[in-house]
Structure 1
C-alpha cells in the first residue's frame, strides 16, 4: 500500500510539473522571468507574513475544535501540528481528502488523543474552512454581477454560476446528511467493516479487528463530529478564525501583485482565491498546478487592463510559492521530528 501511495504521489507531481510547463509557456518564459526579477523584496516578505498569519489563524481553529473534543493543545503546538497537516495535504493527491488520515496520526502522536477523535477534529476543521470560503466568494460574485458585463465574459460567468451553485448545494447536502446522520453512520459501519478486515488480514503483524471494535471506533468518530457541531461557541470561534485565515490569503494575493508593481482591487482577490482553492480536489499533490491555472484563468477573465499573461502568472507564482512551500518547509520538519520520535520510542 505504501508503494502504491508513493507511485500516486510521484505521478501527481509529474502531472503538476506538466501543468506548470504549459502555464509558463502560456505566459512566455522570458516575460515571466523578467516580471519576477522586478518583484519588490519588501512586498514578497509581506506575502510570507500573510502566509504565516493564515497558518496561525487556522491553527487556532484546529486548537478550538480539539478543545471542544477535550484535547488540550497549546497555540505553539497547534501551529506546528497544523503546518504538518498542510504538509500532508500538499504532498498528497486530492488535497485534504488524501492528507487527513496522516494528519490525524500526527495529532494522535503529539496530543495523545484517540485516532478517531483526531480524525474528527481535522475533518471538522477542513469542513468549517469551506464555509467562509463559499460565503466570501459569493460576496465577490455579487460584486462582479453588479460591476462586470458577464455576457461578454464566459469564463467569469461560469465561475459565478459555480459559486452560486455551491453556496446552495453544499449547505443543503450538509443539512440532509446531518438529519440522517445515524442511518448514514450505520451504512458506513456495514460497508467499511468487511473491507477493513479484508485489508488487515493481509498485512503481517496486524491483528484483524472485530466488528464490534470497528463499530466502536466509527461511532467514536461520529460522536466527536456531533460534539463539535452542537457547540455554538466553539463553532463561532473556529468559523471566525477560518474567515481570518482566508482574509490573510486574499491579502497575500493582492500583495503579490503589488510586489511586481501592479495594483488590483482587493475585491478581486476576495473572489478568485476561494474559487481557486476548489481546484485543490484535483488528483495533483495539494492541487499544485490546478489551483494556479484556475487563479490565472480568473484573473485574466477579470476586467484588469494591467494584468497580462506574464503578470498574472508571476503574481500567482509569488502567492502560491508562499502558500504552498512555507507549510511544506515547516510541516515537513515537524513530520520528520515526529517520525524520528516514533522510531526512537
Structure 2
C-alpha cells in the first residue's frame, strides 16, 4: 500500500525536525551539550517532571472548564487524558495546533460524547485563550528586563519576537473574527482533506464534505460566543492557562537548575512564549525550531553558555514534548478504539 501523502508529510516533518535539532547541536557544540547533560542532578530533574505534570493538568483543567461552559462536564482524570491526547495530535502534525485541531476535535467528541463542532470549538477556544496569558507574561517579563537590565543591542531580536506576540497575534485574531464568513470557507477547504484522512484511518468515521465542514465551523463561532459570554468560566479557563504557562517556565528554569545554572525566573517567562512561535514552522511540535529559539532567548538574556541552554532545552522538551507524546498517544489509541 502506498503511503498517504499526509502520512509522508508527518514523516518528512519529523525528519526535518531531527535535522534542525542536529544542526542546532552542531552549532552550539555536541560535546558541550553532552558534558552539560552528564552533570545533571537526578533529584533536581524531579522538579522538571513536577513542573511538566503541573502544566499538563493546568491546561487540561482549562479544557475541562471550556467544555463545562459548552454544556459537557467531565472528570479531572478524563480531562487530563483527553488533553494529553490533543497534545499528541498537535505534536505529530505540522503547524502545531493548527494542524492537530481537527483530529483533537474528533478525540474530544469521541471521549466526551459531544458534537464534533463543539469539540472543535472547545479545543480551539482553549488554544485561543492560551494567547492571553502568553502575551501578558511575555510582554510583562520583557518590560521588566528592559527596565532593569543593561543588555543593549542584545535585546533587539528578543524585542522583535515579543512584538510579534504583542501586536501580530491580536491583529490576526481580530481580522479572523471580523471576517468570519471568509474564515469559515477557508477552514472548510483546509479541514476537509484532514477529515478524509481521519476517515481512512478510522473506518467508522464518515468524512464530511466541504459544506458540512463549513456548517460546523459556523457552529464553532456560535460556541465561541457562548464561551466569551460566560465571564466566570472564561476567567477560570484563562487562570488555568496562566498557571500552565508558569509551569512551563518553571520546567525550563528547573532544567537549567538541574544542570547547575540559575537564571532569573523572568527570563524563562519571556523565553517560553517566544519559543512557542516555532509552532508556525511546518515541523511537528516545532521540533528543533523551538529549542533554537529557547537557546537564542536564554543565552541572550542570561549569562549561560549556549551549549548548556541547548542541553536544558532538551531536558525541558523531554518533559513537555516527549512525555505528553507517549501519554497522549496511548490515550488517543484508547479513545479512538
TM-score by length of structure 1 reads 0.88
Tell me: CA distance 1:187–1:22, structure 2 relative to 1, closer, same or farther (3 Å).
closer
Q: How does 1:220-231 map to 2 (within 5 A)?
A: 220-231=219-230
Question: 1:258 is matched with which residue?
Answer: 257
Residues 221 and 145 of structure 1: CA distance in aligned 2, closer, same or farther (over 3 Å): same
Ranges in structure 1 where 5+ consecutive residues have no aligned partner: none
Tell me which stretches of 4 or more aligned residues in structure 1 moved more than 6 Å: 192-201
Cα contact 1:26–1:309 (8 A) shared by 2: no
Q: Distance in 2 between matches of 1:79 and 1:6?
A: 27
Alpha carbons of structure 1 residues 195 and 245: separation in structure 2 relative to 1, 3 Å: closer
Aligned to 1:288: 287
Aligned to 1:302: 301
Q: CA deviation at 1:192?
A: 6.4
Distance 1:200 1:279 in 2: 25
Counterpart-to-counterpart distance in 1, 2:132 and 2:90:
19
Displacement after TM superposition at 1:197 (Å): 8.6
Q: Summarize the Cα distance change of 1:328–1:199 in structure 2 as closer, same or farther, 3 Å threshold.
A: closer
Partner of residue 118, structure 1: 119
Distance 2:207 2:174 in 1: 38
- Higher mean C-alpha displacement, 169-178 vs 189-198: 189-198
Is the contact between residue 63 and residue 78 of structure 1 (CA under 8 Å) also seen in structure 2?
yes
Alignment correspondent of 1:338: 335
Instruction: Tell me what 2:75 maps to.
Output: 74
RMSD: 2.7
Cross-structure match for 2:90: 89
> SS in structure 2 opposite 1:73?
coil
Residues in 1 aligned to 2:250 and 2:188: alpha-carbon distance in whole angstroms? 45
Moved more, 239-248 or 30-39: 30-39
Distance apart, 1:321 and its partner CA: 1.3
Q: CA deviation at 1:23?
A: 1.4
**Separation in structure 1 between the aligned mates of residue 11 and residue 181 of structure 2, nearest angstrom:** 36
Q: Output one character per residue of 1:129-177: Cα deviation in whole Å (capped at 9) or x when no partner.
A: 1111111010111122113345432xx3122133134323433443454
Structure 2 match to 1:270:
269
Contact 1:141–1:271 (CA under 8 A) maintained in structure 2: yes
| CA deviation after TM superposition for structure 1 residue 207, in Å | 7.8
> Gapped runs of 5+ residues in structure 2?
none
Offset at 1:327?
Answer: 0.4
* CA gap 1:191/1:15 in 2 versus in 1, 3 angstroms: closer
Structure whose CA Rg is larger: 1
* 1:311 alignment partner in structure 2: 308
